[in-house]
Structure 1
């Protein structure tokens, strides 16, 4: 198998998820950086790889995978150990629900192109955009904190790292950048910080990636 090539942007939370998963599996990979702020994701050369013009995209053995949920599921199947999903189907569904809470209910309405649209198309002020961001992260985090209280142990689900942690850590990074008060979500923060202390997760941090701002 050839070395996977991850197309991304250093601060993209969707790409961050994939880096975490690859790191937890101890999979070597190359990275190609695309500056989202400069619009490089819309370049025809990149669209030839990823027609949707978004990151991440993962090139592997002549194929291209897009959308982080699909990529993460593929990674977990391709390299089964350590598994990022519990063996029990109900437990696995709970982990997927935690991940989807972030991937479907928080991230899409707070990603870069949505925030740009709020600013340029709807003329939202910086204060309004911050309120928008905090509203949707806060609502999602409140639900996720309850789920982690019910199902968590050392990590978001039980005592092993799962897909839920792959999603949680990048969203915590975004929440901190936005200045959100995290005190109402103690279980979520504790689980996120436990994952962040793992060497493979720490290595995936945005500040340690190609193209990161000093």
Structure 2
């Protein structure tokens, strides 16, 4: 299998964490999403993935799977151990709820194409984009903290083992910290992230920080 990826991407981090938890190896195909001419917008990559986004997984059967949560569930079905969704139906639904609260409600407001559009608005500047990102991250994590606070206190977001909820929450929390947002205001989230940092599959696959040669907003 081939994974088209840019390791600054929190969506890519989700897939890499799932792969690491399941000890599944794939061929990495670096696909930059930033810069004046990112590879993700090139004609050759658009021929592979018309969305021009990462991650994308090309299976050994030639099937292309896009969107991180679809890839994670595909991996969970083909490589069932360890399971990434709790067995209990209510906990399974909650794990999906937490994951989707980030993947569908926070993440779509933060990618480069949104920041680029904000930059075209008269009077907007880089600080406006930064404030925009911080606002939506904080609002989203506050809602997730409330969801988690209704459940028994555990090492992980949902259930007694890492799940899709943790896989999506961890990269978002790391990026929040890099944006200067302390997790201390969300004690349940902070406790979960502290636990996940001790697990190599998570710690080794956090989104890579932007370097001087890789500037721009994260997808």
Residue 34 of structure 2 aligns with which residue? 37
Residue 206 of structure 2 aligns with which residue? 205
Residue 172 of structure 2 aligns with which residue? 171
Task: Kindly report which structure 2 residues correspond to 1:1-214, keeping only aligned pairs within 5 A, or say none.
Answer: 4-38=1-35, 39-61=38-60, 62-121=62-121, 124-151=124-151, 152-207=153-208
Q: How far did 1:41 drift?
A: 0.5
RMSD of aligned alpha carbons: 1.7
Q: How far did 1:144 drift?
A: 0.7
Instruction: Provide the TM-score with structure 1 as the length reference.
Output: 0.91
Instruction: Provide the TM-score with structure 2 as the length reference.
Output: 0.89
Unaligned runs of 5+ in 2: 215-219
CA separation of 1:109/1:122 partners in 2, compared to 1, >3 Å: closer, same or farther? farther
Give, in whole Å, the separation in 1 of the partners of 2:66 and 2:208: 23
Deviations 1:122-177 (A, max 9, x none): 55222221221111111110111122222351111132100001001110121112
Give, in whole Å, the separation in 2 of the partners of 1:123 and 1:74: 44
Structure 1 stretch 122-131 or stretch 142-151: which is displaced more?
122-131
Is the 8 Å Cα contact of residues 170 and 206 (structure 2) preserved in structure 1? Answer: no
Q: How far did 1:182 drift?
A: 2.4
Aligned residues: 207
Give, in whole Å, the separation in 2 of the partners of 1:88 and 1:129: 40
Structure 1 stretch 119-128 or stretch 9-18: which is displaced more?
119-128
Give, in whole Å, the separation in 2 of the partners of 1:109 and 1:73: 23
Unaligned runs of 5+ in 1: none
Q: How far did 1:54 drift?
A: 0.6
SS at match of 1:206: coil
Structure 1 runs, 4 residues or longer, greater than 3 Å off = 120-123
